[in-house]
Amino acid sequence: MKLARVAAAALAVLILLMQRVWAVDVSATAAVLMDCGNGQILYEKNADKRMLIASTTKILTALVVLENCGMQQEVTVLPGHMAEGSSMYLKPGEKMTVESLLYGLMLCSGNDAALVLAEACGGQQRFVRLMNDLAAEIGMDSSHFENPNGLDGKEHYSTARDMAKLAVYASAQPVFMRICSTSTAQTAGRSMKNHNRLLRELEGCMGMKTGYTKAAGRTLVSCVERNGRTLVAVTLQDGNDWADHAALYEYGFCREDGVETAYFPGNKREL
């Protein structure tokens, strides 16, 4: 009997050690894996390092638009809305609905679409103010935004932790999730294909946003649901982001404990 108890205790210790040793690492300079259900962080690496975030900015852009504009509101494209980088290929004089522009923003990562959407919400200066206001309400304490499309700027930055908070908030917005989870769309006379490969390659992926600039490197925010549980992952400056996100989710869905919550008290929105 005593021998059986000793063996059982030894087995329990062995299992505990195995659980502690099993972990995951990623190529990203900064990363976070967060549970949407309780805000727990399941993995982090340089989570509070302020970094360029490229077009993952457009998650916040879309949320601000959805809170301030009607989906069928029409906007006229102006010459000043043309932008460098990824594009929806808008033409001056076109009239576009906010809904079509949101698909161009999230699937094509249109920098031009971002500028037109900012115009629809009262102009870029007001729009950037709304972006920073919403970021503060969500609890993104180490972030600042200066444009709606994510092009590099000295005062345009965030952290992996803050972007995970943003993703958790976004995951609860049905219209946003419908758009960012769309693989292909036909709208405004255009065929669009989502840049996010994880939608086609990763079980349970519900979308979010890719990003890239030369200075920022590859950035990626994603969201996956399996068996009623939803996690979000963020990697910043990661040349192996597709594989890293897959590895993070395999790790995260096999564990339940975390190290902190995403909710911050005060006048900030509860996640």
Q: Which of 55, 86, 100, 143 is catalytic?
A: 55
For residue 183, indicate whether it is catalytic.
Answer: no
For residue 193, indicate whether it is catalytic.
Answer: no
Task: Give 176's Cβ-side CA count (13 Å radius).
Answer: 21
Instruction: At 207, list the tokens.
Output: 């979308």
Q: Which of 45, 58, 165, 209 is catalytic?
A: 58
For residue 109, indicate whether it is catalytic.
Answer: yes
In 146-170, which positions are buried (b, 16+ CB within 10 angstroms) versus exposed (e)?
A: bbbbbbeeeebbbbbbbbbbbbbbb
Residue 246 and residue 202 in contact, taking contact as beta carbons nearer than 8 Å: yes
Instruction: At 139, list the tokens.
Output: 């609890």
Positive or negative CA dihedral for 69, 159, 181, 255?
negative
Instruction: Compute the distance between CA of residue 95 and CA of residue 118 in angstroms, rounded to an integer.
Output: 15
Q: Which of 45, 86, 100, 109 is catalytic?
A: 109
Instruction: Compute the distance between CA of residue 68 and CA of residue 79 in angstroms, rounded to an integer.
Output: 23
**What H or E segment, with its residue span, contains residue 235?**
strand 229-236
Instruction: Compute the distance between CA of residue 106 and CA of residue 55 in angstroms, rounded to an integer.
Output: 9
Of 205, 200, 207, which is closest to residue 102 (Cα–Cα)? 207
Instruction: Compute the distance between CA of residue 201 and CA of residue 6 in angstroms, rounded to an integer.
Output: 46
Of 193, 195, 194, 205, which is closest to residue 246 (Cα–Cα)? 205
Q: Is 229 exposed, middle or buried (0-12, 13-18, 19+ CB in 10 A)?
A: middle
Catalytic residues: 55, 58, 109
